[in-house]
Chain A
Amino acid sequence: MSDSVTEILRQKIKALGGEPVQSEVGSVLSVADGIARISGLEDCQSMEMLDFGNGVVGLALNLEEDAVGAVILGDYKNIEEGHTVKRTKKVLAVNTSDDALGRVLDPLMNPIDGKGDLKKDEERLIEVIAPGVIARQPVSQPLHTGITAIDALTPIGRGQRQLIIGDRQTGKTTVCLDTIINQKGKNVKCIYVAIGQKYSKVMRNVNTLEKAGAMDYTTVVLAGASENPALLYLAPYSATALAEHFLWKGDDVLIIYDDLSKHAVAYRELSLLLRRPPGREAYPGDVFYLHSRLLERACRLSEENGGGSITALPIIETQAGDAAAYIPTNVISITDGQIFLESSLFNKGIRPAINVGLSVSRVGGAAQLKSTKKNAGSLKLQLAQYRELESFSQFGSDLDPTTKALLDRGERAVSLLKQKQFSPIPSAKQVVMIYALNNGFLDNISNDEVPVWLRELNEHLEGREELLSAIDKDWNDEVEKTVKETIEHFVTIRK
């Protein structure tokens, strides 16, 4: 046994060779706040990994005339002026593998959940150019969130970028977690990128996903609030590299960036430490490019390229509802639509607190089931009319019957869209609920009773797989007739 170990070691040492190893080196000029300025390294590349020795690596971000500005991705307390730095000649890449599903990883794809190392599979660059136009196909397959307000009114397609924007504590993360939970059994792999979040909050979310059985197909990439700003900056890019590992195999991926506001702040901090010129609100001039090159990597590939997709749900946190601020407007202009969450709606008890009037999906009906498209049109109209007349509801009995009917229908529509968190509703059941509203089945129910009625209707639909499957496939006279009969039967037995 010891002979074979010795033999193996002898072979390894022989393989190393006897020639001196040549490497390009530089010297540290100064180090402060995690940033080192290094002289020499004339041939250094942008985003190249630099070896500071003792397992400490850095990332070359600034290539200046007489020095290289590098951020140190580790403990920099033992690095001092004159310290030797070597080029690795490798641009930053991360290990991506199928084993990443079910795990919690750091931005460099190292496991931090204590469940062991990941198998080394494919190494992917964290910064790549997005697939070109020819490599893509239009977004036409729906990605169901399980939230009626979104699936009916601002539908999301596989390959789309849909922004979720709102003030703090308006339910942005909850919408995303609901979406992940709803992907169970739908063959969509999920990646949740927590940028600058509290560790306690992220672990609570991981527990929620575990309880719902969603961690089997989900990876969490965590760059916590106390991490180096460089790791916060890298987290979304390395997570996207992992998503692309699945994309190019033909899989569908959902990736959530929670949130890009903190990402922009981390990038600002990094840029100011690197002494890059500040622009508006002290953000560097390329803060738009920071997010545009990230979000452009979300796409749907053509069938020749495997037909896979990455759907991105970036989150932006606004201050006092100001969606016209710098970073929010940047990301709004990049994405294919946005979902606005408002504090006032949340406080009124309308949860999810989606402002249906301001939310939009630029993909729209192209990514919707035929049954949803047919029924949701009326719902949108009813909500729009209700919003117009809402201020008149205070006049109560002084209104004409038509206005009163519109207000009543609108109130029921708002109640229909309310949903408990972590309780996604399948799309076929959503269609039945909306059909019931549009065809007056809720008109004789008091508004307070509507949630109970809908819950009982959903229970009534359990076991009717044939009908639900037919709704998912098509919407024709026969399906409509069956739906109507089912609802009428429910109403009868409820009486």
Chain B
Amino acid sequence: MSLSRSIANSYITLCEEGNDPKVVANSVATFLKENNLISLQKNILDNVEMIEKEKENYNSLNIRSAFPLTAHTTKEIAEGLCGENKVKHRVEEDKKLIAGFVARYRGVEWDASMQGVVSRLRQLLKEQ
């Protein structure tokens, strides 16, 4: 892990633990000044943004569907896969799936698409 990413990570962790973000930011600025690392400031800010985006992506339900989904269907999928329907979700249309959907939440992917079935069938026939 690079130094700027490491500092960015520490900043986010401290904020998540309940510390005042302004106080934490001041501590980080002091640390950078004392250790002659002011040049890393921009990289740290970029990394904070990147990490927050990654966390948001990780904690939200991403659904790719072959056909448009209704709100009700999306809710059911969220409840079935994430255990709750209030999780932040993003739906995208992808005709390449042929039918069904592919959902991703917190590092786990569920493939309920026809494209997935076809590729598994291809693999099975190849192995035989």
Contacts and interface: CB of A to CB of B under 8 A. Distances in A.
A13 interface: yes
B9 interface: yes
B109 A22 contact: yes
A24 B111 contact: no
B18 to A, nearest CB: 22
B108 A25 contact: yes
A356 interface: no
Interface stretch (A39-47, A138-146, A244-252): A39-47
B108 A23 contact: yes
A168 interface: no
A16 B121 contact: yes
Interface stretch (B20-28, B84-92, B112-120): B112-120
Contacts of B9: 66
Contacts of A22: 108-111
A22 B110 CA distance: 5
B125 interface: yes
B121 A13 contact: yes
Interface string B81-108: 0000000000000000000000110011
Q: Report, as a range, how many residues of chain A touch the other chain.
A: 20 to 34
B54 A39 contact: yes
A12 interface: yes
Contacts of B111: 20-23
Contacts of A64: 1
Interface string B4-28: 0100010000000000000000000
A24 B108 contact: yes
Nearest to A40: B107
A233 B104 CA distance: 34
B124 interface: yes
30 contacts: A12-B121, A15-B124, A16-B117, A16-B121, A16-B124, A20-B103, A20-B111, A21-B110, A21-B111, A21-B112, A21-B116, A21-B120, A22-B109, A22-B110, A22-B111, A23-B108, A23-B109, A23-B111, A25-B104, A25-B107, A25-B109, A39-B54, A40-B58, A41-B107, A64-B1, A65-B1, A66-B5, A67-B1, A84-B109, A86-B109
Interface of A: 12-13, 15-16, 20-27, 39-42, 64-67, 84, 86
